[in-house]
Amino acid sequence: MEDTAVEEAEVSGAAEFAPALIAAHPHGNSVAVAIGPELRVCDLKAGSPVLSSDDCGGRSHSDAIRAICFSVSGALFASAGDDKLVKVWKTDSWRCIRTITSEKRVSAVAISNNDLYVTFADKFGVVWLVTLGEDGTEQVSVDNKPVSILGHYCSIITSMKFSPDGRFIATADRDFKIRVRMWDYINGCLLDTCQVRDKMGELLEPNETDDSSLAIADICPSNDGSLVAVAIQSFNGVMLLACDVVEKKLSFLKVITTEKSYIPTSLASNFSSDLLWTVMGASNMPNQASSQLLTRLRIIPCFQKDLISSDNSHAILEDSEVPHGEKLLLALQGSLDIAKQEEVLASVLAALKVSMHKMLVKKNYSEERREQRKRGRNDKKIKN
């Protein structure tokens, strides 16, 4: 019991900082932003905020949301986080149809391409599978509990995706390397690697070029698969990589910079447009009130290789140019008061530069401590 308690404290203590997240409906119907326990959704067809309905009443989550995603069909949406809950929502009504309880805090979530399964990863790197009802309905067996299917030993999983054919689940964890990889997932072959440090050295301050400052916060492919956008801790902008599937190459293309006070914490795109959605924000910071759960939204147009010009001018939409303008910004940011935003986001910016690596950079344990943690996990499996 003591070992487990210590491990729980170590994992949760290293991840108190909770970055804002963003996800885009694959067909452009809506955009969702998570900040702390709040889930904000904007209907892109009507240009209005969406009121979600949870059978449990109240807000969607009671603690910081750590992972969100739409299903490939767009019919379902999943959210999960520090309250150890995974919630599945129907996007036509934004009603929560299933709440799954995890033994540990959740760090990643994904929905299968046929909408029949949801997978989630806990803070100890174990991936769990749950069967949903037919067509995403809530008609499931009472004893349909999560089943563990794979795990990353003592490492937090930061993202998880189903392969297009639904046969594979790809997971990423903290491997203490600052790089972006291109894989042949069917054969398990690494095709190419882009070292971020080599490309970012000239763009960052001298004190921001160590590994903890260059942690990769998020990656996002374009709808045509020709580009990969990369968000990097401490960097005010995104790096764009060209993805050549035929030549099996991943190469640096360009960098799009934002204002100094804006560092993206999450990226999203969809199949129906060429927009790259970015968000900045954080929760779980010292002395942060609920009224300070503000986010800042930035949208990059022409997120396709053939449309990206070499000129950075007009690369980011002004607030007046975003779809539905102030209605969308108010729904997703929480405020239109620029002065209030700047005050709150200034503290977020400071936290981003010193805190994100605690969540993304893998801890180094002594051999003795590794064995102790391993014994604790194996003992728990035997008891179960």
Q: Find tokens 């072959």 and name the residue.
A: 189
CA distance 120 to 79: 10
pLDDT at 381: 47
CA distance 217 to 282: 13
Tokens encoding 76: 């379902």
pLDDT at 159: 87
pLDDT at 111: 96
CA distance 281 to 294: 7
Identify which of 99, 96, 122, 97 has the alpha carbon closest to the alpha carbon of residue 109.
122
Residues 141-191 pLDDT 10s: 445 689 998 877 667 888 888 888 888 888 887 665 557 788 887 888 888
pLDDT at 1: 35
Q: State whether the Cα torsion 47-27-245-215 is positive or negative.
A: positive
Give the residues of the chain that fall short of pLDDT 70: 1-16, 55-59, 134-144, 153-154, 174-178, 201-214, 285-292, 306-314, 338-341, 351-366, 370, 373-384
pLDDT at 365: 60
Structural contact between residues 89 and 30, judged by C-beta atoms closer than 8 angstroms: no
Three-state SS at 375: helix
User: pTM of this prediction?
Assistant: 0.83
pLDDT at 10: 39
Residues whose CB falls within 8 Å of the CB of residue 281, separated by 6 or more in sequence, listed in order: 19, 20, 33, 35, 265, 293, 294, 295, 296, 345, 348
Structural contact between residues 365 and 176, judged by C-beta atoms closer than 8 angstroms: no
Q: Find tokens 């204002």 and name the residue.
A: 259
pLDDT at 363: 56
pLDDT at 134: 62
List domains and CATH numbers for the chain.
19-135+145-150 (2.130.10.10), 194-361 (no CATH)
Identify which of 68, 141, 121, 122 has the alpha carbon closest to the alpha carbon of residue 131.
141
